[in-house]
Amino acid sequence: MMNSYHQDIKHKEDELAIQYLPAVKAMAFRLKERLPSSIDFMDLSAIGTEELIKLARRYDSTLNDSFWGYSKKRVYGAMLDYLRSLDILSRASRKLVKAIDYAVEEYRLTHEEEPTDEELAEILEEPVEKVHEARIASSIYTVMPLHDQLQVGDEGAALATVERDELVEVIKTILSKFKEREQLVIQFYYFEELTLKEISEILNITESRISQIHKSVIQKIKESVGMQHG
């Protein structure tokens, strides 16, 4: 009798998870749209599904009104944890990413477009495979929350000690110095979670320019906080 009762509870928990599987797949699909092709949609979906099942078995409807409201952030967080676990930015590749960003800016000044991986490899005297991997790592990292990104690199060490509320104020102050269009890029990318392509269509600017604005804002926030807490 008791065993039957437990089976019934487990069945209801699994039914609850199954009900929200389409929402998990949609979340994985939206995240995948913002990531390079080397990241597999099925991996993200599987990670999200596994987390959803765990949450369904822990869920207490007397404490939380909505299961998806309770689960949504945790499922998304599990997908981001998976991306972090790939260890995409080693110390060596961080230095290379920084060199690539600088080289791309220099190249754009004279060519008005981004260089290819082959052109960058020649400029930086690095193997093209290393440049390709570093660019993939960099593009994966841009989907992480701002707080994660700000802790990458030399200036990032100071940010580990900064309170989140203080960081929000710093971000607001720095964004206020940017033009409205540049502020919208950050708002659309981080808070509306739109893809570069979608932002490009809304604001009528190129994806590479959006990427450039994003990197510029991140760097200025790092420098500002670094000066205050260095």
Per-residue pLDDT reduced to its tens digit, 98-139 = 888 888 888 888 887 788 899 999 999 999 988 888 888 777
Q: Report the alpha-carbon distance of residue 226 to residue 62 in Å, rounded.
A: 45
Report the C-alpha gap between 32 and 75 in whole angstroms.
14
CA dihedral 174, 180, 183, 185 (to 10 degrees): -150
Total H helices, total E strands in the chain: 13, 0
Q: Which residues, 6 or more positions from 75, have their beta carbon under 8 angstroms from its beta carbon?
A: 24, 27, 48, 51, 52, 55
pLDDT of 6: 46
The mean pLDDT value for 139-157 works out to 65
Structure tokens at 30: 């939206």
Angle (CA) 165 166 168, round 5°: 65
With the C-alpha atoms ordered 66, 72, 73, 75, is the resulting torsion angle positive or negative?
A: positive
Query: Is the separation of the CB atoms in 52 and 18 below 8 Å?
Result: no
pTM value? 0.65
Q: With contact defined as beta carbons under 8 Å apart, do 104 and 43 qualify?
A: no
Locus of tokens 């008005």 = 112
Give the angle subtended at the CA of 166 by the CAs of 165 and 169, to the nearest 5°.
90
Question: Which one-letter amino acid corresponds to residue 132?
Answer: H
- Asked if the model's pLDDT at residue 7 lies above 70, the reply is no
Looking at residue 141, its pLDDT comes to: 75
pLDDT at residue 28 in the model = 93
* Percent of the chain residues topping a pLDDT of 90: 17
Specify whether the CB–CB gap between 222 and 150 falls below 8 A.
yes
- Position 206 scores a pLDDT of 85
Compute the mean pLDDT over every residue in the chain, rounded to the nearest whole number: 79
In this structure, is the dihedral angle defined by the CA atoms of residues 9, 14, 17 and 19, taken in order, positive or negative?
negative
Average pLDDT (152-170) is: 60
pLDDT digits (tens, 9 = 90+) for 29-64: 988 988 888 888 999 999 999 999 999 888 877 776
Q: d(Cα 214, Cα 96) in Å, to the nearest integer? A: 18
Answer whether 75's CB lies under 8 Å from 49's CB.
no
Q: Cα separation of 155 and 226, whole Å?
A: 6
Contact 20, 71 (CB under 8 A): yes
DSSP state of 40: -
Residue 167: pLDDT over 80: no
